[in-house]
Structure 1
């Protein structure tokens, strides 16, 4: 099973894993400006992608490198007999020259030079600095995709300005006021970072779907709790990136305003022995020096301590919903395993948890009742001191 939080959290790791070997070029295909990304580490299995600057959508490349000659097929193999366009390129002065040709068309000249990646602007968000250093191909694309302001509204007394990237149809909000500086700057920096990372994920998804046709990446963003202490947002994505099945899931934003950091669940709620540990459970997250446990210890705590405890709380709070079903095909919320790694976000009444089921039972997810009140959370504070409501 692949959840939304798995999909969107892993994008940077995948970029970092290929950044060392990938080479980025700019140039022209025919008369059209293009940006090309090639992994030449294995001459027998060259992989890459490119986009026309006019359209920004990736086209996959795969082929071989021999005697300074690149032979590349365009698009992913769809196991059909339809011939794919090919590029035949020869190394020239650090770049590549040659031609692109469809089976039934005339050849077009290709001229590629190593990309000159402009520096980030002074004071740029850390997201842009990281992207510039580790993923210049995506950096060059995003530079061409300005955000567009959308509607203005308010939530829990905070005025919001929605902003979106039209190509990917990804949008998120920034908070206009209500927090003192530098908290307001940190909040909006985190929200912008998430918006742009979703745009990167959208393009990765579309590239992966090209073997089977058009992909899907539909997203609904809903603020769920804004307070002087935390910002919490549901980011629910329905997506199809190739493969046998589409998927969906929530990947919430939970942000500590005072410390300017994403919150892990153990930062907020701790039911174990001794002091709470910190482990960033977002997929692909780089563990900081504060992470004093490894994944095995983290998962053991979730499996043996947290999930059974949460089931007991919900059995007291929601006895009807938590009844063990008579039919094994019905949703069994009494099984602690479905609460080992739940999605979670803040609400006005408490923390809303989302269970995780195997693919055949995915209709059991999306519960609206599974909220743990702040009155319970206050009895089991996590490792970060947060001013949260005491009621609920």
Structure 2
């Protein structure tokens, strides 16, 4: 078979790429083997006989822990993503699954706790467990054997766990889809001024005294989502990072009327990678049902005549002018600011002064250009729907 001169370089590049990929896979396999050898074992995807997937709770030394064992449905070539957490912290520690090197140890489960340090992984701890009538017993130890802690765990039925929080849709969903995170967050939260604080992550969120139960359930759900994101970030998204992570999240109530409640979420985080980041989100809810209220852009909304293009013009008219350099203004005025193909480009929430608008489309390098601009409700009146049930909340006359 003859190849054209144009195809030959491409075929050569493809061959080099395949060769490099194969070399990389071989290097990864060798590195993985060394990690398991440090714990006296080998990698193994299937759970050993007598061990079922699910949630286990008990003690590691003097510390209460929760362990999650996944099923065997991980992708070919990938290790199962088991994890455990100290109950007083809730932050997940990832475990690579293996077994004892002795193949006769059919009931032995090995979890390797490896830490990513930027240039590779090193083993921080080893978890060796043996199944016995639905329980797991064994020890956690360091590779050098200098530190050993006894481990005793029992499988728990998460569906039967009593609720420490008011029941809500997100709490129910979390229990079914992510029981590990559910158990971490299903504990009494502490009161703060105007709301509650989730104790493990520090995420705060408002509550409305005397409000309909459905509204406060929706507010709890908003806080649960932020707290679950925080735990995922603080655990490195399944990677044990040597240099740590950080997450700060809150919701702040900005509007309350007969039919509407509005707030803004502020999140600053570093979950690994090149740099920290932040974002703002607006949340507006029906005061009785707790359902999300879409403010603009389509029939049935409060401002059906307000498009992203019109909102960008209103935003720019109130942007900080001479205090902001030309590059910032060019970024904010870019076409992406009125493009809704990938979602609405602004965070919106109600305030006493007007509609607060924050551009969420700026890249990280120009995120400092973003600022909250408040558009007075009077400027939006001609774009509003006077038949909306929410119209009189903003335009009483």
Question: Do these two structures clear the TM 0.5 threshold for a shared fold by scoring above it?
Answer: yes
- The residue aligned with 1:46 is 80
Cα 1:314–1:207 shift into 2, 3 Å: closer
- Write out aligned runs for 1:34-113 (5 A): 34-40=65-71, 41-42=73-74, 44-64=78-98, 69-78=108-117, 79=119, 82-104=122-144, 105-113=146-154
Say if 1:331 and 1:364, in contact at 8 Å, map to a contact too.
no
Q: Deviations over 1:83-112 (max 9, x none)?
A: 321123344434543332112324333333
Determine if the alignment matches structure 1 residue 205 to structure 2 residue 206.
no
Task: Give the match's secondary structure for 2:373.
Answer: coil
- The residue aligned with 1:24 is 55
Say if 2:191 and 2:197, in contact at 8 Å, map to a contact too.
yes
Q: CA deviation at 1:215?
A: 1.6
The CA distance in 1 between the partners of 2:268 and 2:81, in whole Å, is 27
Task: Give the match's secondary structure for 1:310.
Answer: helix
- The residue aligned with 1:155 is none
- The residue aligned with 2:260 is 230
- 1:363 aligned to 350, 368, 382, which one? 368
- 1:136 aligned to 169, 179, 185, which one? 179
Cα 1:326–1:232 shift into 2, 3 Å: closer
- 2:296 aligned to 262, 265, 269, which one? 269
- The residue aligned with 1:4 is none
Cα 1:308–1:162 shift into 2, 3 Å: closer
Asked which structure has the greater CA Rg, the reply is 2
Q: CA deviation at 1:374?
A: 4.7
The CA RMSD measured in Å over matched residues stands at: 3.6
Cα 1:50–1:384 shift into 2, 3 Å: farther
Q: Between Structure 1 and Structure 2, which shows a larger proportion of helix residues?
A: 2
The CA distance in 2 between the partners of 1:319 and 1:345, in whole Å, is 17
Unpaired runs of 5+ in structure 1?
Answer: 1-20, 152-160, 279-300
- The residue aligned with 2:283 is 253
The CA distance in 2 between the partners of 1:192 and 1:382, in whole Å, is 31
- The residue aligned with 1:116 is 157
Q: CA deviation at 1:38?
A: 2.4
Say if 1:322 and 1:333, in contact at 8 Å, map to a contact too.
no
- TM-score, normalised on structure 1? 0.70
The CA distance in 1 between the partners of 2:336 and 2:322, in whole Å, is 14
Say if 1:276 and 1:382, in contact at 8 Å, map to a contact too.
no
Of structures 1 and 2, the one with the larger relative CO (CA 8 A, separation 6+) is 1
Say if 1:34 and 1:51, in contact at 8 Å, map to a contact too.
yes
- The residue aligned with 1:16 is none
Say if 1:23 and 1:38, in contact at 8 Å, map to a contact too.
yes
Task: Give the match's secondary structure for 2:367.
Answer: helix
- The residue aligned with 1:188 is 216
- TM-score, normalised on structure 2? 0.70
Say if 2:175 and 2:182, in contact at 8 Å, map to a contact too.
yes
Cα 1:326–1:47 shift into 2, 3 Å: closer
